[in-house]
Amino acid sequence: MDPKTLRYILKRLVLGVFTVWVVITLTFFIMHAVPGGPFLSEKAVSPAAQAAMEAKYGLDKPLLVQYGTYLSDVVQFRFGPSLKQRGRMVIDIITDGMRVSAKLGIMAALLALALGVVLGSVAALRRNTILDRIIMIITTAFVSMPSFIMGSLLLVAFAIKIPLFPANGATAGGLVLPVITLMLYPMSYITRLTRSSMLDVLGQDYIRTAKAKGVTRWKIIFGHALKNALIPVITYFGPMLAYIVTGSLVVEQIFAVPGIGRAFVQSIINRDYMLIMGTTIVLASLIVIMNLVSDIMYKIVDPRINLE
């Protein structure tokens, strides 16, 4: 790895750590600024018992002291115990949820990438034909439709009206509809991105030169055009994967998927400060890492690119 690329990666790592710290700080103080607390909804709890519970979890200390203690714990990769799920550590809840969310996200991302590249390439090679127009109309509709509406429609259509798949994401086959729901938007975006990139590449001088030299059509498409057209797609893929995992909050709620998104929503409802903070750190770190990986892949695909 050349020194310039290494310097760029180090700069991005420092910036990533700073970004995660800003997210932690904002989330911490905003959550504590909201009126109420995690134990106010507890039934038949006396003020003395509530004070004892707050003392147990360190919530009776000054806010800046709590903030400093939490930052110290985070550096040591300790997120503390859940305030609502008694007896469970936050890291265990996040780990269990991430296993499901990661499986869901990876399947949706790979399907979106494969179908998006194929459909985008077909649309570019069949430009201004009926097939191209159909692909563009369908992808425009999917890009315009929010995931919670698409998920609800798929749930009603294929789990209730025509019970092909279970509505519960925790059962066998229950991930089919959530995967499709999460896949449709990025697949449509990749399709449109691939099409525009392919059309731009196919109009370049080196493509016309290859045609003039008698290079076969398939070699031009797969050896030259598609490789260069995929550079913007690769740039998008890293953030897309993070978006799918972090953006599955509503989808996991709709299909009752026991992932990190559902756990995060429940932690907000229950004011489980420890779980909110731990989940926020993991999701923010995931986005930062995926963006960095995307930039590195960008450099690998086209070594001519100067990351600095």
- 212: domain CATH number? 1.10.3720.10
Assess if residue 223 is contained within a domain. yes
Q: Please indicate, yes or no, if residue 293 is contained in any of the structural domains.
A: no
Question: ∠178-180-183 over CA atoms, to 5°?
Answer: 105
Q: Is residue 30 part of a domain?
A: no
Which pTM value belongs to this model? 0.77
Q: Is residue 144 part of a domain?
A: yes
Residue 161 falls inside a structural domain: yes
Distance CA 292, CA 67 (A): 28
Task: Report pLDDT digits (tens) over 116-145.
Answer: 999 998 888 888 899 999 999 999 989 888
Residue 37: CB atoms within 10 A of its CB come to 16
The model's confidence at residue 84, banded by pLDDT at 50, 70 and 90, is confident
Range of the domain at 204: 98-263
- Number of structural domains in the chain: 1
Q: pLDDT digits over 34-80, tens only?
A: 776 666 655 556 677 767 777 777 777 888 888 888 888 888 878 87
Count H helices, E strands: the chain? 13, 0
Q: Is residue 157 part of a domain?
A: yes
Note the pLDDT of residue 173: 81
On whether residue 18 sits in a domain, the answer given is no
